[in-house]
Amino acid sequence: MKLFAKPCIRFRRFLVPAFTFVLGASIVAPAQKPKLPRPRILEHEIRISRDPATGEMRPIPSGESESAPSGLAPVIRSRVDLVEAQCTVTAPDGTRVRGLTRDDFRLWEDGTEQKVSAFDAATTPASIALMLDASPSIYRELRDMRGVARSLAQSLQPEDEVAVVAFADETQVLLPFSRDRKLLQAALTSPQLAQVANSSQSFIYQAAYLTAVRLFSGRAGRKAIVLLTDGQDSALGLTWDPQSMSPAAGANKSLKFQDVTRAIAASGIELYVISTEPRPRAMTGEWLSAQREQPLMTPAARRSGIPLYTLYLAELTRQVGGELYFLREVGSLAEIYHSIALKLEAEYTLGYYPAAGVAKPGWRKLKVELRPDERSNARVPANSQITHRAAYYVPASSR
């Protein structure tokens, strides 16, 4: 028997590293780590060009000529498609009011009341793009990404899809829209974030534009961008003059602030911006509410000491609809992401076909109110507030 003892031991030592044996059970293979797709650089996938006839920026797929019609470019139709307006109702104690129906709401476009033709109480899946500014100035804020992944996995519905975009001088898609929460964690803790952070530049608004027109192209339902940044953009050359937001007359092909707001608003994307900078003392919630009808770049704002780059983040959310958070007020990214996920979960979507019918290009003002009747009042606590985007954009396109 001793002749066989040593060879048996050697045979088992050879096999143990490759397999795990369980008496009376099958062999179990080691678990594999989730594998992320290869990062995509959006600047390589599309180009942008200003339409000389309409003055609007057009995204053009790579390899397609500027004269060819773009599948991404908006087209004028004889009638307007369904317009969707998202809103939330908040009780005085801060909780979201649920259980409302289509008949509890009234909606106006440019002062004309509209018939609500479609209604959804957050039952359709949401598409959420997490945009992370990976420039060195805020890269240190990305250390808590594992906690963010756990928080989102617990907060989102299983059907919700999440994409992860990191940007500095380029816009890289680390994860296209996916329901796989393990891939979400892998993307948020990916070493690729450190590679993106190698650039000292931060093209914030370019990244937001490309994400809106490329990543959300063809997607329906509830859509949201969650943008983490310090606001210090390196590309657009924004100044205290509000004219710096708009393209100048002539063949100016460079991207402008208004191109970004139009793209986001035309796609029906809600925007949640998380600033890593301190909240300026003068930028209170009351101050922002009082400025909703006009650009924030004013001599009074300049005298108040509000940094210009923070003011433009507020202007972005003012124009397209959304919310501006300040990380240092809340404490952690995980808490903010959790709060945003809960807001999306309690959201109502009102869809309507504009009564005017014809697709006239430009901004359209929106107003949503609760219907003042006994039925609604019984379900909605007194002094509840309703929040919604103030406008949407109808793009123009030459034919």
The string of pLDDT tens digits covering residues 35-44 is 888 999 999 9
pLDDT value at 87 more than 60: yes
- Highest-scoring range by mean pLDDT, 7-16, 356-365, 386-395: 386-395
Q: Residue 163, Cβ neighbours under 10 Å: how many? A: 21
SS3 132: strand
pLDDT value at 261 more than 90: yes
The pLDDT-based confidence of 155 (bands split at 50, 70, 90) is: confident
Q: Please state, in angstroms and rounded to a whole number, the distance separating the CA atoms of residues 340 and 323.
A: 9
Token couple for 327: 């990380």
The string of pLDDT tens digits covering residues 175-197 is 999 999 999 989 988 888 778 77
pLDDT of residue 64: 67
pLDDT of residue 196: 79
Q: What percent of the chain has pLDDT over 70?
A: 81
pLDDT of residue 52: 83
Residues 196-214: b if buried by 16+ CB within 10 A, e if exposed: bbebeebbbbbbbbbbbbb
The pLDDT-based confidence of 59 (bands split at 50, 70, 90) is: confident
Q: Residue 9, Cβ neighbours under 10 Å: how many? A: 10
Q: At residue 256, what is the residue type? A: K
Q: Please state, in angstroms and rounded to a whole number, the distance separating the CA atoms of residues 96 and 41.
A: 38
Residue tagged 């001599």 (tokens): 299
What does R_g of the chain's alpha carbons equal in angstroms?
Answer: 25
CA 308 to chain centre: 22
CA atoms within 13 A on the CB side of 40: 16
Cβ 89 vs Cβ 384: under 8 Å: yes
pLDDT (average), residues 377-385: 76
SS3 226: strand
pLDDT (average), residues 10-14: 38
pLDDT value at 357 more than 70: no
Q: Which residue has the higher pLDDT, 355 or 276?
A: 276
Indicate the pairing of strand 222-229 with strand 269-275: parallel
The string of pLDDT tens digits covering residues 229-244 is 999 998 899 999 999 9
- Helix H or strand E segment including 300: helix 299-303
The pLDDT-based confidence of 20 (bands split at 50, 70, 90) is: very low
Q: Please state, in angstroms and rounded to a whole number, the distance separating the CA atoms of residues 231 and 197.
A: 16
pLDDT of residue 339: 85
Q: Please state, in angstroms and rounded to a whole number, the distance separating the CA atoms of residues 320 and 146.
A: 30
The string of pLDDT tens digits covering residues 98-141 is 889 999 999 999 999 999 999 988 888 899 999 999 887 776 76
pLDDT value at 353 more than 80: yes
pLDDT (average), residues 157-172: 92
Q: What percent of the chain has pLDDT over 90?
A: 37
pLDDT of residue 231: 92
Of residues 321, 328, 312, 399, the one with CA closest to residue 363: 321
Of residues 97, 156, 116, 56, the one with CA closest to residue 394: 56
Give the residue extent of every domain in the chain: 40-394
The pLDDT-based confidence of 2 (bands split at 50, 70, 90) is: very low
The string of pLDDT tens digits covering residues 325-343 is 998 888 778 888 888 888 8
Whether the model clears a pTM of 0.85, i.e. scores above it, the answer is: no
pLDDT (average), residues 302-321: 93
Q: What class is the 40-394 domain?
A: alpha beta
CA atoms within 13 A on the CB side of 398: 12
Average pLDDT value over all residues in the chain: 81
- Helix H or strand E segment including 396: none
